[in-house]
Amino acid sequence: MRTFVFNTGVKVLYGTPLIKGHLISSNGVKVIPFDCDDVPLGSTFMFCADDVTLAGNELIYREMHNTVMQSKYAFFKCN
């Protein structure tokens, strides 16, 4: 199992409380960690969703674990 992060793009101001399960990255942006099994090395995280038909032929999807994310699956592009 490997840990990935979803970058929310939200810059956190000093003293702003975080929601449980969220972290602040080194550049001050809120991120949400999640774990996935069996993701090939070198794969790039693309997005999260519940609809696995979004994977098509170019993406793989894996169920997310140990996260507060609302979506069930993370989608990755294999490089």
Q: Are 45 and 4 in contact (CB under 8 A)?
A: yes
Say what the pLDDT of residue 29 is. 93
Which helix (H) or strand (E) is 33 found in, with range? Answer: strand 29-36
Specify the number of domains making up the chain.
1
Mean pLDDT of the chain: 92
- Residues 50, 72: Cα–Cα separation, whole Å: 5
Handedness of CA 13, 14, 15, 18 (dihedral sign): positive
Give 55-76 pLDDT, tens digit per residue. 888 899 999 999 999 999 999 9
pTM: 0.86
Say what the pLDDT of residue 79 is. 80
pLDDT over 90, % of the chain: 73
The residue range of the domain holding 71 is 2-77
Arithmetic mean of pLDDT, 34-60: 93
